[in-house]
Amino acid sequence: MQDFEPKIVAFVCNWCTYAGADLTGTSRIKYSANVKIIRFPCTGRIDFMILMKAFENGADGIIVSGCHPNDCHYSTGNFHARRRWIVFRNLLNFTGIDTDRIQFSWVSAAEGFKWADVVNNCTKKIKELGPYENYNKIAVSTLFNEEGTSNE
Amino acid sequence: MSRIGVFVCHCGENISATVNCEKVAKITGELKGVEFSTDYKYMCSDPGQTLLKEAIKEHKLDGVVVAACSPRMHEPTFRKACAEAGLNPFLCEMSNIREHCSWVHPKDDLTTEKAEDLVRVMVEKVKKNKALKSIKVPVTKTALVIGGGIAGIQAALDIANCGHKVIMVEKLPSIGGHMSQLSETFPTLDCSQCILTPRMVEIAQHPNITLHTYSEVESVDGFIGNFKIKIRKKSKSLDEHLCTGCGLCTTKCPQKKIPNEFERGLGFRPAIYVPFPQAVPNKPVIDRENCTYYIKGKCKVCEIVCPTKAIRFDQEDEVIEVEAGAIVMATGFDVLKSDYFPEYGFGKYKDVIDGLQFERLASASGPTQGEIRRPSDGQVPKKIVFVACAGSRDPAKGIEYCSKICCMYTAKHAMLYKHKVHDGTPYVFYMDIRAGGKMYEEFVRRTIVEDGTHYVRGRVSTIYEKNGKLIVKGADTLMGGIPIEIEADMVVLATAGVANKGAEELAQTVHISYDSYKFFAEAHPKLKPVETNTAGIFLAGACQAPKDIPESVAAASGAAVKVAALFSNDELTRDPLVAVVNRQAAPVYSACVGCFLCQSVCPYQAIEREEIKSRSGEIIKTLARVNEGLCQGCGTCVALCRTKAIDIHGYSNQQVYTEIMALLND
Amino acid sequence: MNDMIKKVTQLLTDKTIDVFIGYGKGSADRSRAIFVRTAEQAENLVFSANCTQNLAGYLLKHEVKHLGKLGILANVAALRSILQLASEFQIKDGEVLVLFANPDGSFTEFLDFHSIEGYLLTTETGITSGEQERIAALEAMSVSERWTFWNQEFEKCIKCYACRAACPMCYCHRCTTDVNQPQWIPVASHERGNLDYHLMRAMHLAGRCVNCGECANACPMDIPLNLLTYQLISPIKAGFGATAGMKSDAVYALSTYKPDDKENFII
């Protein structure tokens, strides 16, 4: 278990958290390499199914991050996202999916340090929790490659 | 089968110091569909871009991934290069292996592997990219300038002189801003009013400028080229067309003891007032909070004396709607309030004042007609202490930054004091003297050498009153930290420049970002200093960070040029990364079922109803349709749509799905 | 009962409606939905305590819709379905003739959405105490126990989509399950795909479910699917002040927001 390097996917908005993560880089603040970012225009764009797909494909943890309330580049995308996460988190919890493995955060373009903290704390937590075996087990037991996205 | 090209940038050593770029290029070159891969020292350089263009042509690439810095930095660069090589620019993606990888991780295999992962994700994504055409939208060639200080004035005049219309909104009854409060300006000591008032008048008289004073921006909708702004014109209780500005009302108003904001409380004004004699417009407003009529229901002296019957007690606020293609934020700054300095007795001792109050004392039009007299008893202070960095560079006060203008104005204050009080002794407590700027250092030297100002390097710990004197306690760090105690007659604090009260709310209203100090944030600290992250909204002056006059003016002119450049075209080209509703053949027409739950999530009212009609005109189906001129591409509707009937270019369902698959299934 | 047969006969005869969706006799002592198009067929209408199905699910079915102007015998859940569908622009006011079966056996005709809204405010619309207890029992379990519980349930799913067909809110022509570019929901009925499907369905019904229970009734494998969406009803009501199917012009809970929506998990 000591060698466990969790796979953590971060779904972030372009305007705040992506820029905040850029600032983390510009400021040369170090964080764990386990986290890899996928860019979205806004947290409002992040469909709940995207989170399901991440777990299904072997993510041990997920970070979802965007602009602080009132700071959304599109005014209200993060407010809609927040409602969606309130409901979805409820549902995940009710179906026994470990919501500790999903970290939601607001990280602004000015919060380079906060981004590093979010990533490092999340990595630490996921390392303690270990691989997401429950989900991985059902994911693996049925892997008869049908990703469906044909490559033209 | 795709023909993707992968270009891995070393960024000098910024990337290659921790990421094995050759390896990344080699490994990702083996991915399915990758036709060509290479690494290069500087992809963004001219030879780097040439390399990219030639590879596109030579290998007939139909997709490009540049693994380099943040796409927020160079995505436009590489997309442009692709376009020049004949590849649709939207078939180019960037992997951020610098900010998100090489700079944040140590040199090891994991870092290189992460870079490979990030490139693989983009290779898979770009396979799903579609060639897109830019969207053209019309431009309203009117600029909105918010704030009528020197920055706003400069920006407005520059834009207006380019032949474009300008709407200026100023919160106070007059334009002029902080500069109109200043006595003389460093480093030339020319009179602030003398150089400012002609420009204020020019604003009022310019045929291209519409001025709304005593007004505030209430809401901003729309987007670059097409903003819709609601402006609340607060009631002045006055018919401005009738008022001639004779000023009779202001002299007859029985309510005369209202602390004068313009004089920073060092003087008084009536309830109906013009903020200062050179105000533009030179017409009064009634301060309803202090007006006897509004408080007690009777008085109306102003109405009685007014020769043109211009007073309107029942006038209400008016909300007007204007359209503009660009917005310049020029809302300026404020100085720290007194309650930040209990240890200095600011607010408690009348003779502890701030820099702006000193400006008023030194001003020929100020409450003392330019004589330096202390507020408590009107005596001329013989010993005066200036405290620089009052709040600035002080993490304990929550202000870690340097307010930048204080070193210079403190030197100026000491100099002005010496010029007016020949037998006086000025002291300046400072941390460092920051006098970078044309003729600035020379100016400070003059203050010290010619005017004999005592500069003491050290912080003031406390100020208290004893026998009518202000005891200033500090230490001289250049003398080994020996304690210093000065019995002063007056103390001037160079209080930190801070963001305006309400800056955060205003930023939220106009939809721009701001930093942790609530100053408005520029799009790039070096290369886009007057742009915000919101297209079409620009920054001028001290609303961005403390700035002196020359800097504010330069920034304002910079912002004006950006506006003029935007207005130089009749149409604006926008990235086509917008939402689109799926359409298919009859009888289904679309996967959209017309539930319109998406309609209320759209911040831009971009989702319209489209009726599919039969030949006889009967409505067969009502679908959602995205107005691509209004859509800004947030994608909130996409995430909400149950049937996946709405998708968004650039972040399509296919693309993000593929990204997740590629990232997790290595 | 005769009142209703008389009423429906008259409605059909004077062409007020073309078809009436009501209950007929099913196998054993069960009832089933019947589509009455003539006066003779009206004689087959029945009504008893067994007639609990939410018939509103048929209103948007292509096969039914094309028969002409519809009338329906509604229960409380069907009334709520109609209002919810109205709020989603699927039914216009006056488009469907609504007869409501009162508890005392008499029938009321609702002439417009407004009167339905008024009636619903006076009647019990929530989930049953039995359902509440089942949810509470699940909530009392540990996360991993719940995982095991649902995993065992979803394992049974054969992806027949009967739940989707029975649900009055699942009226999309193209369900996410039918999308194959990308294939969000795996086609085969393995555990992973089943979990995907049921989570997706529950999310799509969050704030829209009118707790009629047709999904669970329709399930041939007896999966308590209704609990998934029922469980979300109270947090949506408590958090956002929204209940599905109570107003014909309601704004969908997830299509709006309040700047101060409360949560405790975003750092």
CB contact under 8 A, B634 and A28: no
- CA C116 – CA B219 distance, rounded (Å): 38
Going from N- to C-terminal start, the domains of chain A cover 8-144
Q: Would you call A84 helix, strand, or coil by DSSP?
A: helix
- Residue C106: per-residue pLDDT: 82
CA angle A117, A123, A127 (to 5 degrees): 145
Helix C226-240 with C191-205: angle, nearest 10 deg: 40
The yes-or-no verdict on residue A152 having pLDDT over 60 is no
Do C199 and C147 fall within a single domain?
A: yes
CA A79 to chain CA mean position, Å: 17
- Note the pLDDT tens digit of each residue in C148-173: 999 999 999 999 999 999 999 999 98
Nearest by CB: B643 against C90, C176, C255: C176
d(CA B74, CA B526): 14
What's the rounded mean pLDDT across residues B349-375? 94
A8-144 CATH, one of 1.10.12, 3.40.50, 2.40.160, 3.90.550: 3.40.50
Beta carbons of C89 and B595 less than 8 Å apart: yes
For residue B340, what pLDDT band results from cuts at 50, 70 and 90?
Answer: confident
Model pLDDT, residue A151: 37
Closest chain A residue to C147 measured between Cα atoms? A96
Same domain, yes or no, for C63 and C134?
Answer: no
Note whether C176 contacts B644, CB cutoff 8 Å.
yes
pLDDT of residue A139: 62
Q: Tell me the pLDDT tens digit for each residue of B497-544.
A: 999 999 999 998 898 888 889 999 887 778 889 998 788 999 999 999
Partner residue facing A146 (CB), from C146, C187, C253: C187
Q: How far apart are CA A103 and CA A125, in angstroms?
A: 10
Residue C266 lies in a domain: no
CB distance A94–C192 less than 8 Å?
A: no
> What is residue A146's predicted lDDT score, i.e. its pLDDT?
46
Please name the residue of chain B whose CA is at the shortest distance from the CA of residue C204: B642
Contact A77 B603 (CB under 8 A): yes
Burial of B189 (0-12, 13-18, 19+ CB in 10 A): middle
Determine which of B598, B664, B665 to mutate to test the interface with A (most A C-beta atoms within 10 Å): B664
Asked casually if ipTM beats, i.e. exceeds, 0.85, the reply is yes
Chain A CB contacts of C182 under 8 Å are 147-149
- With contacts defined as CB-CB under 8 Å, which chain B residues touch A116? 104
Long-range residue pairs from A84-89, CB within 8 A, at least 24 positions apart, any chain: A84/A48, A84/B639, A84/C254, A85/C263, A85/C265, A85/C266, A86/C235, A86/C239, A86/C261, A86/C263, A87/C203, A87/C206, A87/C207, A87/C232, A87/C235, A87/C236, A87/C254, A88/A48, A88/A51, A88/C203, A89/C265
| Interchain proximity C146–A94, CB inside 8 Å | yes
The pair phi, psi for residue A65, each rounded to 5°, is -145, 145
Check A40 against B635: CB less than 8 A apart: yes
Say if the Cβ atoms of B639 and A45 lie within 8 Å: yes
Pairing of strands B425-430, B537-539: unpaired
- To test the contact with chain A by mutation, choose from C132, C143, C157, C185 the residue with the greatest count of A C-beta atoms within 10 A, namely C143
- For chain B, give the mean pLDDT: 93
Same domain (yes/no): C17, C114: yes
Nearest-5° Cα angle at B37, B31 to B38:
145
Task: Answer yes or no: do C92 and C136 share one domain.
Answer: no
Min distance C256 CA to chain B CA atoms (Å) = 6
CB < 8 Å to B665, chain A: 57-58
pLDDT, tens digit (0-9, with 9 covering 90-100), for C181-227? 898 988 888 888 889 999 999 999 999 999 999 999 999 999 999 99
| Same-domain status, C182 and C84 | no
Res B211: pLDDT: 97
| Domains of chain B, earliest start first | 4-132 (3.40.50), 142-234+317-330+501-567 (3.50.50.60), 248-305 (no CATH), 334-498 (3.50.50.60), 579-649 (3.30.70.3270)
CB atoms A77 and B636 under 8 Å:
yes
Higher-scoring residue by pLDDT: A137, A142: A137
Range of the domain at C53: 2-120
Q: Is the pLDDT of residue A56 over 90?
A: no
H-helix segments, chain C: 2-13, 39-42, 62-65, 76-87, 113-121, 129-140, 143-156, 162-166, 191-205, 214-218, 226-240
Within a domain: residue C211? Answer: yes
Q: Which residue among C98, C120, C142 closes a domain?
A: C120
**Residues C55 and C111 both lie in one domain:** yes
Cβ–Cβ of C172/B643 closer than 8 Å? yes
From the list A28, A48, A71, which residue is nearest B103 (CB)? A28
Does C155 lie in the same domain as C56?
Answer: no
What is the tens place of the pLDDT at every residue in B577-636?
999 999 988 888 999 999 999 998 988 788 999 999 989 998 889 999 998 877 889 999
Q: Does A98 touch chain C (CB under 8 A)?
A: yes
Please check whether residue A141 touches C, CB under 8 A: yes
Task: For residues A91 and C198, give the distance between their C-alpha atoms in angstroms, rounded to a whole number.
Answer: 11
Residues in chain C within 8 Å Cβ distance of A97: 143, 147
Our measurement of the distance from residue C11's CA atom to the centroid of its chain's CA atoms, rounded to an integer in Å, reads 26
- Residues of C with Cβ-Cβ distance to A134 under 8 angstroms: 144, 147
* Total domains in the fold of chain C: 2
Q: Do the chains contact at B593 and C90, CB–CB below 8 Å?
A: yes
User: CA angle at residue C37 from C34 to C42, to 5 degrees?
Assistant: 65
**Helices H, strands E: what count in chain C?**
11, 5
Q: Does the CB of B130 have a partner CB in chain C at under 8 Å?
A: no
C121/chain A closest Cα distance in angstroms: 25
pLDDT tens digits for C79-114?
999 999 999 999 999 999 999 988 777 888 998 999
Question: Do residues C61 and C25 both lie within one domain?
Answer: yes
**C173 vs B588, B599, B653: nearest CB:** B588
Residue C124 near chain A (CB below 8 Å): no
pLDDT digits (tens, 9 = 90+) for C14-54: 999 999 999 999 888 889 999 999 988 999 998 888 888 99
pLDDT tens digits along B59-107: 999 999 999 999 999 999 999 999 999 999 999 999 999 999 999 999 9
Helices (H), B301-368: 301-305, 355-362
Beta-strand relationship, B209-212 and B190-191: unpaired
Of C89, C120, C151, which one is at a domain's C-terminal end? Answer: C120
In whole angstroms, give the CA distance from residue A41 to residue A18: 10
Confidence of residue A2 (pLDDT cuts 50, 70, 90): low
pLDDT higher at B223 or A45: A45
pLDDT higher than threshold 90 for residue C259: no
pLDDT at residue B516, as a whole number: 82
A-B contacts (CB, under 8 Å): 160
Residue C106 forms part of a structural domain:
yes
Within this chain, do residues C171 and C229 fall inside the same structural domain, yes or no? yes
- Flag whether residue B654 sits within 8 Å of chain C, measured between CB atoms: yes
Output DSSP code: residue B451. Answer: S
**Chain A residues within an 8 Å CB radius of B663:** 9, 36, 38
Judge whether C148 is closer than 8 Å to chain A, CB to CB: yes
Task: Please give the average per-residue pLDDT across B125-149, as a whole number.
Answer: 94
Whether B58 shows a pLDDT value over 80: the answer reads yes
pLDDT, average across residues B339-363: 91
Q: Does residue C35 sit within a domain?
A: yes
Confidence band, pLDDT 50/70/90 cuts, at residue B407: very high
Cα-based distances in Å from B271 to B216, B249, B297, B313: 21, 10, 14, 13
H/E stretch holding B74: helix B71-84
C85 → chain B, closest CA residue:
B595
Cis-peptide into B307, omega within 30 deg:
no
Determine, for residues C200 and A49 on separate chains, whether the beta-carbon distance falls below 8 Å. Answer: yes
For residue C14, CA distances in Å to C10, C17, C18 come to 6, 8, 10
Cβ contacts of A106 on chain C, cutoff 8 Å: 266-267
CA B599, CA B86: separation in Å to the nearest integer?
Answer: 38
Is the CB of residue B384 less than 8 Å from the CB of residue B488?
A: yes
pLDDT at B472 over 60: yes
> Quick one: pLDDT band at residue A145, thresholds 50, 70, 90?
very low
Domain annotation covers residue C265: no
